[in-house]
Structure 1
Amino acid sequence: MHSRRKFIAQSSALALGGLALQSFNTRNFSRTRTSAADQIRIGAIGINGMGWADTVSMLKNPGVTLAALCDVDKNVLDNRMRELSKMNIDTSKIKTYTDYRSLLDRKDIDAVIIGTPDHWHALIMIHAVQAGKDVYVEKPVGNSIAECRAMVAAQEKYNKVVQAGQWQRSQQHFRDAVDFIRSGQLGNIRTVKVWCYQGWMKPGPKVADSAPPAGVDYKLWLGPAKTRPFNSSRFHFNFRWFWDYAGGLMTDWGVHLMDYAIFGMDAPVPKTVSALGGDFAYPELYQETPDTLAALYQFDNFNLIWDHAMGIDNGLYGKDHGIAFIGNNATLELDRGGWEVLEEKRSSKKVSMQRKGPSDNGLDKHTQNFINVVRSRKLSDLNCPIQTGAHIATVCQMGNIAYRSQAKVTWDKAANKFTDSKLNAAYLMAPYHNGYTLPKI
C-alpha cells in the first residue's frame, strides 16, 4: 500500500537518515561544480508538512542553497532548524521569519516554496511573483476557482517559473501509463474510476476552543480566512477538513489522482457534475468536509467517477487509491505502486500487461525539474506549470461545489462559469476577510 502516510513518513526518514546526510554532507556539497551565476537561493514558506519535504528534496539539487524559512509557528521553525543542523547544514546563514512578506522583501532570494494551508496559496504565490521570485507551490494551488484564475494570470503577467507540487507528473511509471492509454490499445474508454480510501486519515476530536499554543501567530495563520477562536482540531494537519481553509479529501488527494485521470484522457473541464456524501465514517469527530463522497463528472465522450472514503482502506482492485481507465478492450489500473492492464475477456483484441512498479522518486524528479527550468528559463519544460495545477484544482473544486450546493452543476464553457448565477456568486470565489484582498491582475 503506497499511501500518503507512507510517503510522508519516508520523506521524513529521508530528511533525517543516512541518504539525506550523504546528500547534505558539507564537504561533498561545497564541491559541486556550479558557478556563482548558477547558484539558486531559496526560501520556504510553511514548513510543517509537504513544504518541508519539498525543501529537503529541493536541496538535493547542486547549487541550491537554503536562505530562509518562514512559518507562523515558532515551534515548527525551531524543530526544522535543529533538523538542518543534523544534516550538517550551516544554519547560521539561514534566517527565520514569521511573516512571509519579510522573506519576499529579500532581494537575494531567487525562488520560494509555498507549503502553507491551502487558503494562503494564492495570495502568497501572487505576491511572490510580484516580488520577482520563482515559485514552487503545493497543491491544490488555489482554494477556489477564482483564486486559480488569478494565479494563472499573475504567472503570465510576471513571466516567472511556477510549478505546482503535483509530483506524480514527474514520476516515470505514471507517464508510461499515460503513453499506453494514448496508444489506443484499450479501445474506447467509456468510464474512468478514481478512488481514494484512506483509513489512516481522520479529523480531530470535538474539543473546546482555547488559546493558541505559545509561539503561534494565530492571527497570521488565519490570514484571509474568517476570524474564529483558536481550536486545536482545526489547526496544522486538520485544517484540510474545513471549508475556510481547504476542500477535504477531494482537493487533498484528488488533485493528485484526478490529475492523471484528466491527463490520461486529455480532458477539459466537465460539462456537468453531481455529488453525494456526508460524514458517515466519523460523525463524532470535528469536520465540515465529507469523509465519504461520490461524484459523477460528465465529459463529451466518457464519464468520470470519483469515490473517496476515510476510515477504510479496501478500495477497488484491493488498493486504497487508484485510477482505472475502463476501455472496450481492457482496463488499465494506475496507482503510486505501479500500473497494469487487465484483459477484457469479451473483447476479440486481447490486451494485457503485467504490473510495472515505480522506478524513481517522483518528488525528487519534480523539484529537479523546477530547478532546471529556473536555470534555463524554458517555461515549457515544466512538468506541472500553474496552468495545469489550476485546471485540476478547478475540476476538484467543481466536485465540492456540487456536493455543497446539492445540485447538479452545469458548466458554461463559453462564459467560463456555471450556468446558475447563484452558484457563481456563492462558490467561485472564497471570501477574504481581515482586510485581505485577492490582487486584481
Structure 2
Amino acid sequence: MTTLAAATGAASAFPAAFGGLADFRQDTVRVGLIGANGMGWANLNSMLKVPGVQCTALCDVDANVLQKRTAELKERNIVPKLYTKHEELLADPNIDAVIIGTPDHWHCLQLVDACVAGKDVYVEKPLGNSIAECNAMVGAAKKHNRAVQVGQWQRSQQHFRDAVDFVHSGKLGKIRLVKAWAYQGWMKSIPVKPDGPAPDGVDYTRWLGPAEQRPFNPNRFHFEFRWFWDYAGGLMTDWGVHMLDFALIGMKATTPKSIMATGGKFAYPDDAAETPDTLTTVYEFDDFTVQWEHANGIDGGPYGRNHGVAFIGNYGTLVLDRGGWEVIPEGDRMEAVPLQKSQDNGLDKHTTNFVEVVRSRNLEALHAPIEAGAHIAVFSQMGNIAYRTGEKIYWDAKRGRFTSSAANKLLAADYHNGYRIPTV
C-alpha cells in the first residue's frame, strides 16, 4: 500500500552534530530505552537475553519509573545513564540502538530523531498515530539507512508462519472472507476522574509533547492513554495491527477498495474513554472482504477465542491466534487439522532478529521492517478514519489520499506546542 506521499510541516529541530555517526559493527550492541514502562521494559528485558547486548541508558518523563527500573537493573549489575529527554539520550555516543516504548503520539518524533542521530530502532506498535506520521518515519529510516524493527513480534513466531503457508497452499479453497478480532474481557470501564496535578516526578509538559494542552488526568496517563484520540487509536490500532497484519499477509493483500466502520461506546457509554469499545470495520477488496471486530469487556469472540484471525474458504476455515492454529473443515470437503500449538517465544525471537540485523546490516532480514509496520498502521488508521467520519471511504493510491475531504482532514495528527510532523 502506498502511504501518504509527503507529510507537511517543517523538519524536526535537532542538533546537526547528532548526525553522521558511524555504523557500529562489533559484537556488543549498546541499547538505550526511551519509555521504560510497559512494553518498553518488556522489550528491553527480552533484548538483554541476547549475548552481547548491554543496556547503557534509560529515558522516561516519569522519575518514579526511572527509579523503579534503575533499582531492578542494579540487582543485575546493570547501571545505565538516566535521561528525561530523548534528545539527550540520542546524543550519547555509547548507544548503538534504541527501544521506543512511549505512547503512540511520541513515536514519530522520537524515531525520526533516532534515525538522524544514527541509531537503529526497535519501536513499539502501532508505528505511528496517523498516516502522515507513518510516511515520515519510513522516509527517515530509508534516508539514514537505519534498521527499524516494529514490535509486531508474531511475525517471528513459527506457528504464525506455518498457518500462512497453509493458507497460501490453496487447501482451504477460495477464501471469500477473513475475520480478525480482539475481544478483551479484562478491559473494564474507565471511571471518570477529576483533573488534578501531575504526580511528583512527572514532566507532564514533556509527556504531552505534540498533543493538545490539557490538565493532567490519570485516565490519560500511562496505560490508559490508548483510549484517547490525542495519543492513540484504541483497540483498532492497539490490537488491529497484530491481527490484521496476518489477514493481509495471508491474502497477499495491499490496498482496499473501500473501508466502512460502525460502532461506538456501547458497553460503557458514560465512562472516560473516547475510542469505541465496540467496533466493526469492513475492508473491501476485489473478490473478498476483511472484517475487523473488537469489543471491550467481552472474551467470547468468534470460534471461542478472544483474539484471532479466521480465513474462511469454500473447503474449510483456518483459525489462528497466539496459542496456535487449526483448520475446521466445511463438511467433508477437506480434512480437519487439529490445533497446532505455539512452541516458541515470539518476543524473544523478534528482539534477537533485530540484534542480528543491527550487527549484520542486512536490513532485508528484519521480520517486521518499518515498511511492514507502516503498511498495517495505515490500514488500521483507515478503519478509525471510516469510523470517525461515518462515511464509506475510498483510498486514492496514486495521490496518496482519500477521495473524501472529511477523511483527508484526519490524514495527519494535529501537532501542538511548537512541534510539527517531520518533513524528510
8 Å Cα contact 2:26-2:359 kept in structure 1: no
8 Å Cα contact 1:203-1:241 kept in structure 2: no
Q: Which residue of 105, 110, 117 corresponds with 2:96?
A: 110
Equivalent residues in 2 for 1:282-293 (5 A)?
282-293=268-279
Q: 4+ residue runs of structure 1 moved beyond 6 angstroms?
A: none
- What is the identity, as a one-letter code, of the residue corresponding to 2:77? I
Q: Which residue of 392, 398, 403 corresponds with 1:419?
A: 403
* TM-score normalised per structure 2: 0.93
- Residue matched to 2:87: 101
Deviation at 1:202, TM superposition (A): 3.2
- Residue matched to 1:430: 413
Deviation at 1:136, TM superposition (A): 0.3
Is 2:180 the partner of 1:194?
yes
CA distance in structure 2 between the partners assigned to 1:119 and 1:98 by the alignment: 17
Deviation at 1:204, TM superposition (A): 2.6
Unaligned 5+ segments in structure 2 are 1-23
- Residue matched to 1:217: 203
SS in 1 for 2:406: helix
- Residue matched to 1:78: 67
CA distance in structure 2 between the partners assigned to 1:169 and 1:380 by the alignment: 14
SS in 2 for 1:285: coil
Is 2:353 the partner of 1:365?
no
Equivalent residues in 2 for 1:10-409 (5 A)?
37-86=26-75, 88-91=76-79, 94-345=80-331, 347=333, 350-409=334-393
- Kindly indicate whether structure 1 or structure 2 has the higher relative contact order, using CA contacts under 8 Å at least 6 residues apart: 2
- Residue matched to 2:11: none
CA distance in structure 1 between the partners assigned to 2:290 and 2:148 by the alignment: 28
8 Å Cα contact 1:114-1:121 kept in structure 2: yes
Where is the helix percentage greater, Structure 1 or Structure 2?
1
CA-to-partner distance for each residue in 1:285-322, whole Å, 9 max, x for gaps?
Answer: 21110000001110122101111000110111111111
8 Å Cα contact 2:130-2:412 kept in structure 1: yes
SS in 1 for 2:87: helix
Give aligned-pair identity as a percent. Answer: 60
Deviation at 1:84, TM superposition (A): 1.4
SS in 2 for 1:286: coil
Deviation at 1:36, TM superposition (A): 9.1
8 Å Cα contact 1:197-1:321 kept in structure 2: yes
8 Å Cα contact 1:273-1:298 kept in structure 2: yes
CA-to-partner distance for each residue in 1:386-438, whole Å, 9 max, x for gaps?
Answer: 000000000000000000000001111222210113321x1000011000112
Give the alignment's Cα RMSD to 1 decimal. Answer: 1.2
8 Å Cα contact 2:34-2:102 kept in structure 1: yes
CA distance in structure 2 between the partners assigned to 1:421 and 1:263 by the alignment: 30
Deviation at 1:351, TM superposition (A): 3.3
SS in 1 for 2:26: helix
Deviation at 1:201, TM superposition (A): 1.4
8 Å Cα contact 1:203-1:233 kept in structure 2: no
CA distance in structure 2 between the partners assigned to 1:36 and 1:391 by the alignment: 29
